[in-house]
Amino acid sequence: MKKPPTLVFINPWIYDFAAYDLWSKPLGLLYLAGYLRECGFDAMLIDCTDIHCSGFQDASHLKSPVRRRFGTGKFLREEVSKPPQLKDIDRPYSRYGIPRALFAGEVSQIEKPAAFLVTSLMTYWYPGVIEAIQIIREIHPDVPILLGGIYARLCQNHAALHSGASSVITEIAPVSILAALESSGVHSPKEPVKSFPLPYPAFDLLSSNDYICLMTSSGCPFRCKYCVSHFLNPVLTRRDPHEVFEEIVYWHGKFGIRDFAFYDDALLISASTHIRIVLEEVLKKHLSVRFHTPNALHVREITKDMAQLLKQTGFRTIRLGYETADPALHRRLDNKVSVGDFERAVTNLRKAGFTREDIGAYLLAGLPGQTVDSVAETIDLVAGAGATPYLAEYSPIPHSDLWEEALQSSSYDLEAEPLYHNNTLLPCWSPDQKMAFQQLKKRVIEIRRRPANSHKQVL
């Protein structure tokens, strides 16, 4: 019997000044692998950010990464030379993930692959994409390499010119990937399956699973100017909530998974016809699971009733998308939070039993036209309300509504060089603002270190 063609899925390294595994998995790539297996392909995965990989112990210069509760923690890290564009940044620059030699060894052991499918995430992480493709090309010079993902979609021209991939894929539909494979001479062994519902993501290809990432929907009804969700997923689509619940049961029952991280951009929107149904099933079946929301929840949706349901069903990590306490800035950028909304949300969560440590609020810093004082005031408001502030430095994103304003306000050539999108640079702030930002970071650290009872308790 003829062996099915083998597709090799690649999640490249992260190249950055800092990186942290906050329930970070290549979910889109795993969905694609699950789908293409159903089409008759064999699937292999090399995850360059895998902290469970065997063999890194042979690299004596690498320390085992510190892991924390619920499956989060640090990546393997190796300091490397900075690209010339970033040489003036006074911070170490690193490759996060498995040793380069280990990756090359795994690639060289693959016999007669039909194609490599490489994903990409942050635009300014593209050095890891290029390095992975270079190694693959050296070992398998005649095998097609397809590049997809966020960098490929947002910076298509740059990826086509610099990545070394055989083709750059900007469509995310599985049937479009099949068509790209066909164009590369790789044919599906079976009749393609229907696109929806998609098979479960191929988490079994990972060396180990501490948690599972879930997407119950794609897209977002809001059009925040600093976000690019509307470009990547123009229409808000939702999975059947009963199918979502069955997936939770599958991973929990068959593999003993307790921790689940939601990747939705709008998890609580229209909750009564969607996520509430999922959570009521969790409650009814007494599932012993824990949920986490790294992508943040919309503040307005945290009613008393919803806060209680989140607590009852095992939510342990609550992140709120607050961005700024400046009403004028909200009106200009997203118009999704009104005065008093955040305090009400935190009050509801605290009354439901969540602690200050459980409730984090993402605060944007470095936006074009944003002042340092505005960020400082937001930090104090969040702390005073009984939540924990998390600073999120603004990264200019091509195709976002704020992109043109970012181009005008930045001294970097954002259009030509994606490395300048790196949020560590605070590319849209002045040198004086960047200096002042260090004090803001210290302020946040001080707040986090305070005993919980030193804050105003909103109960």
Please state, in angstroms and rounded to a whole number, the distance separating the CA atoms of residues 331 and 378.
15
Please state, in angstroms and rounded to a whole number, the distance separating the CA atoms of residues 212 and 215.
10
Helix (H, G, I), strand (E, B) or coil at 145: strand
Q: How far apart are the first and last CA of the chain?
A: 67
Identify the DSSP state of 67.
B
**Which residue is associated with the tokens 């010339």?**
84
Q: What's the Cα-to-Cα distance from 116 to each of 119, 133, 142, 164, rounded to whole Å?
A: 10, 9, 11, 12
Which pLDDT does position 195 carry in this prediction?
62
Q: What residue segments make up the domains of the chain, in order of their start?
A: 6-183, 211-454
Cα dihedral 443, 447, 449, 452, rounded to 10, equals 170
Q: In what order do the strands lie in the sheet with 42-47?
A: 42-47, 6-11, 115-118, 145-147, 167-168
Token readout for 192 is 């393609």
Which pLDDT does position 20 carry in this prediction?
95
Tell me phi and psi for residue 319, to 5 degrees.
-120, 130
Which pLDDT does position 192 carry in this prediction?
78
Q: What's 6-183's CATH class?
A: alpha beta
Strands 77-80 and 212-214 turn out to be unpaired
Please state, in angstroms and rounded to a whole number, the distance separating the CA atoms of residues 125 and 150.
10
Cα dihedral 105, 106, 107, 113, rounded to 10, equals 140
pTM, 2 dp? 0.94
User: Is the link from the previous residue into 368 a cis peptide, with omega within 30 of 0?
Assistant: no
The residues, ordered by sequence, that sit 6+ positions from 156 with a Cβ below 8 Å of its Cβ are 168, 170
pLDDT in tens, the chain (459 residues): 678 999 999 999 999 999 999 999 999 999 999 999 999 999 999 999 999 887 665 555 677 888 888 999 999 999 999 999 999 999 999 999 999 999 999 999 999 999 999 999 999 999 999 999 999 999 999 999 999 999 999 999 999 999 999 999 998 888 889 999 999 999 999 887 766 678 999 999 999 999 999 999 999 999 999 999 999 999 999 999 999 999 999 999 999 999 999 999 999 999 999 999 999 999 999 999 999 999 999 999 999 999 999 999 999 999 999 999 988 898 888 888 889 999 999 999 999 999 999 999 999 999 999 999 999 999 999 999 999 999 999 999 999 999 999 999 999 999 999 999 999 999 999 999 999 999 999 999 999 888 765 544 433
Question: What letters, b where the CB count within 10 A reaches 16 and e where it falls short, cover 55-77?
Answer: ebeeeeeeeebeeeebbbebbbb
Sign, Cα dihedral of 140, 141, 142, 146? positive
Please state, in angstroms and rounded to a whole number, the distance separating the CA atoms of residues 389 and 365.
12
Cα dihedral 426, 427, 429, 435, rounded to 10, equals 50
Please state, in angstroms and rounded to a whole number, the distance separating the CA atoms of residues 436 and 422.
18
The answer as to CATH 3.30.460.80 being correct for domain 211-454 is no
Which pLDDT does position 457 carry in this prediction?
40
